Structure 1
Amino acid sequence: MADETLINKIHELSDLELAALICLVAKEHCIIDTEPVVIDELVQELELVFSNLSFASPVSSLTLEQIAAKVFGLSYAVVDCSEHTSLDDFAHAILTVEGSPTRSNSPVRTRQDSYFLNTPAFQSISRSPVSETFADNKTIPNVIIAKNLDEAPKQVQIQALELMRTKRIYTRTSVQNAPKRFLFIALLAGGDGPRLTKHLNDHMFISHFHDPEDGFPNLEEMFDDTGSISSVVKKSPRLNTEFMTSPRVSATEIEQLVQLSEQATVSIEVKAYQQNIIAFLRVHRAVASGISAPATVLFDKLAKCLAPLHNLSYATPSLIDLAARKIYPHRIQIVKPENERSMQWGSDLDAVAELLEGTTTEDVIEDVLGSSGAETPL
């Protein structure tokens, strides 16, 4: 069981911070979805979640209490993907350069800055995308935020999958390894069901939709009473040494949650309930292509990761329900009316189309978890 101080910290986290914590505990990667109109604000919010410093006022007036580490205190890089993004662009965006004297001398924005594609680059198909002129002191940050990854070409998405699976990226002169704590976030805007390439989509651990009405708490802290953004302190080695404090959720606490999740148990009755949910999803008339086996493995893993966050040493039916709502939304594909199962037995196409109209992945999951789906154990 986690100590009460850690549990209180977890209860104070926002939905985005909690999603990130779950992935760090599981050592997996995620999809975060939102409305298209607020995706830029969501990028800024995530930057503040992972940044090492909290910015509230100009550096000259900051006190030690005002400058505090954010939630996780991890290095990060942001890449803005589009149909013109090449492997060169992708690799340059995620490799940060340590000790770069000025931003103008660096081909990428470092750690606390975002990389945004300005001009289309040639479409490279090489596995070694980084140019020889790129600095030798480059590293992969702890967190990569890939904005609009679904719009990137297939080869870029395959490169992202390779990075997640092997935790390394190849340059022309070396192989760069990701740090021990490594999180890849695919930031998408608007849509339902799978939007990434098949294998990349199935490799993603969870998907989370951030409702704009839930706000951006860290971003809002940067606004003063007049509504203008306060001055932002840029990260530098001297500033870190003098001012930086511990993150709200430390690496030690994350490791404690990892150990507790590995020790979490699932009773036979709850396991049967979990398997029934999977079976109901696979035979649901609105689901196309079924439910993959890797998703089942991740389903079980998430249920155990959620237990210590709720100060439990075992998974409950309610945690199984919560896990299903995070594991399957990006994996379920709604069937086309002409391919719906009952069409084999002479159903009317118009009637089937009317039945399926407006059906979303969330509707399917709630249907399976509801009274007409798997029976919840008492």
Structure 2
Amino acid sequence: MADAILEKVHDLSDVELAALICLITKENCIIDTEPGSINDLVEELELVAAKVFGLSHAVIDCTEYTTLDDFAHTILSVDSSPTLSVSPLRSQSESYFLRSPGFRSITRSPQSENFDDNKSIANVIIAKNLDEAPKQVQIQALELIRTKRIYTRISVNNAPKTFLLIAVLAGGEGPRLTKHLNEYMFISHFHDPEDGFPNLEEMYDDGHSISSVVRKGPKLETEAALQPRISSAEIEHLSRLSDVAVISIEVKRYQQDVVAFLRLHRAVSSGITAIATQHFDKLMKCLAPLHGLSYATPSLVGLAARKIYLHRIHIVTPNRERSLQWGSDVETVAALLEGIGPEEVIEDVLGSSGAEVPL
């Protein structure tokens, strides 16, 4: 079974792999892309949820006008069979995207109205532009991923056992969500539009976005009938392998050295939090079975660091850089920090001038 799963894993795209890692670890993630490709990325993630993992999903397009009620009601889906609730090719009238700043209600199909008392939180929540939502909405998202429940005016809804919240952001690096929500996001990944959107390209011969393509009835039935490429049993199997993966003393020491070097790096402001270190350890163990290993290696430490810390590192402003306490010149410090972002800090720590890699 393990070999069969690994073959499937090796065929996954970068976005599919990011989602799989979060499902294995039962955590949540940020996926970033270029501003002009964010709609295609959202549509790709819808197809990933339905076709690759067979999970229900809901999409919310956040704006500065999004309210708590908007967020709560949008992530609820009808508790019915997967072919009814998870189809990635729902008609435009059933779309959960917010159409305008004045959005206050969600268009539902007649079937949805008939099952108004039988709603549940979707397995996968795709939150487009979550960083643009008001602070109270982001706090509600944080409560959802921490407590696995959400409160509406009339009920309390519990998240399903398999649950994933994906914050889809566009253009930028470093922290953009509220402080605590950002810390609880397990990994971050940048999807380059040049890498393509394989599920969209497979679905439509001309490779255009779903929103620009007329849907055809026969094709909808064919797609809805497809079985997920990776089943819940396979995800659970990978999760058990992750739990028993071994981290040797030497690799553990290297991991802690990486954390220490990040905390002491002159370009890093606000340090590195304890929950980030916990996530670092969890991702290292998760990556081992995905590479056919029962133990973590130094290379997996580097790979995990790039995904764990990219959205967490705050770059210090020149007037707050610590060497100023000992007489450094602000203009000189500003010149040294120019062009340095979270990615450059991580590569510096993992490079020859950073933590020593165990042999």
TM over 0.5: yes
The answer to whether 1:28 aligns with 2:12 is: no
Residues in 2 aligned to 1:234 and 1:341: alpha-carbon distance in whole angstroms: 64
Residues in 1 aligned to 2:207 and 2:251: alpha-carbon distance in whole angstroms: 52
Query: Where does 1:121-270 land on structure 2 (aligned, <5 Å)?
Result: 135-224=116-205, 229=213, 231-233=215-217, 244-270=225-251
RMSD: 2.6
Report if aligned partners of 1:32, 1:210 keep a CA contact under 8 Å in 2: yes
CA displacement, residues 199-218 of structure 1 (integer Å, 9 cap, x when unaligned): 00000000000011111111
Residues in 2 aligned to 1:282 and 1:99: alpha-carbon distance in whole angstroms: 48
The answer to whether 1:373 aligns with 2:354 is: yes
Partner of 2:268: 287
Query: Where does 1:259-338 land on structure 2 (aligned, <5 Å)?
Result: 259-338=240-319
Partner of 1:128: none
Report if aligned partners of 1:302, 1:323 keep a CA contact under 8 Å in 2: yes
Residues in 1 aligned to 2:217 and 2:343: alpha-carbon distance in whole angstroms: 41
The answer to which of 7-16 and 110-119 deviates more is 110-119
Report if aligned partners of 1:96, 1:111 keep a CA contact under 8 Å in 2: no
Report if aligned partners of 2:56, 2:86 keep a CA contact under 8 Å in 1: no
Report if aligned partners of 1:97, 1:110 keep a CA contact under 8 Å in 2: no
User: Shift in Å at residue 122 of structure 1?
Assistant: 9.2
Aligned residues: 341
Report if aligned partners of 2:69, 2:152 keep a CA contact under 8 Å in 1: no
- Inter-CA distance 226–329: structure 2 relative to 1 (3 Å threshold): closer
Residues in 1 aligned to 2:219 and 2:204: alpha-carbon distance in whole angstroms: 19
| SS of residue matched to 1:221 | helix
Report if aligned partners of 1:29, 1:205 keep a CA contact under 8 Å in 2: yes
Partner of 1:347: 328
User: Shift in Å at residue 173 of structure 1?
Assistant: 2.4
Residues in 2 aligned to 1:213 and 1:201: alpha-carbon distance in whole angstroms: 27
Q: Which amino acid aligns with 2:38?
A: I
Residues in 1 aligned to 2:225 and 2:155: alpha-carbon distance in whole angstroms: 32
- Inter-CA distance 134–79: structure 2 relative to 1 (3 Å threshold): farther
User: Shift in Å at residue 96 of structure 1?
Assistant: 1.3
Structure 2: gaps (5+ residues): 105-113
User: Shift in Å at residue 245 of structure 1?
Assistant: 3.9
User: Shift in Å at residue 98 of structure 1?
Assistant: 4.3
Residues in 1 aligned to 2:256 and 2:64: alpha-carbon distance in whole angstroms: 39
| SS of residue matched to 1:184 | strand
Residues in 2 aligned to 1:289 and 1:6: alpha-carbon distance in whole angstroms: 40
Q: Which amino acid aligns with 1:159?
A: Q
- Inter-CA distance 82–110: structure 2 relative to 1 (3 Å threshold): farther
Report if aligned partners of 1:77, 1:111 keep a CA contact under 8 Å in 2: no
Q: Which amino acid aligns with 2:161?
A: K
Partner of 2:6: 7
Structure 1: gaps (5+ residues): 52-69, 104-108, 124-132
- Inter-CA distance 344–225: structure 2 relative to 1 (3 Å threshold): closer
TM-score (norm 1): 0.85
User: Shift in Å at residue 4 of structure 1?
Assistant: 1.1
- Inter-CA distance 230–13: structure 2 relative to 1 (3 Å threshold): farther
Report if aligned partners of 1:86, 1:121 keep a CA contact under 8 Å in 2: no
The answer to whether 1:74 aligns with 2:55 is: yes
User: Shift in Å at residue 192 of structure 1?
Assistant: 1.2
Q: Which amino acid aligns with 2:215?
A: S
| SS of residue matched to 2:127 | strand
| Structure with greater helix percent | 2
User: Shift in Å at residue 138 of structure 1?
Assistant: 1.2
Q: Which amino acid aligns with 1:29?
A: N
Q: Which amino acid aligns with 1:9?
A: K
TM-score (norm 2): 0.89
Partner of 1:363: 344
User: Shift in Å at residue 226 of structure 1?
Assistant: 9.3
Q: Which amino acid aligns with 1:187?
A: V
User: Shift in Å at residue 230 of structure 1?
Assistant: 6.4
Q: Which amino acid aligns with 1:30?
A: C
Q: Which amino acid aligns with 1:38?
A: S
Q: Which amino acid aligns with 1:24?
A: L
The answer to whether 1:49 aligns with 2:30 is: no
Residues in 2 aligned to 1:355 and 1:193: alpha-carbon distance in whole angstroms: 19
Report if aligned partners of 2:30, 2:167 keep a CA contact under 8 Å in 1: yes
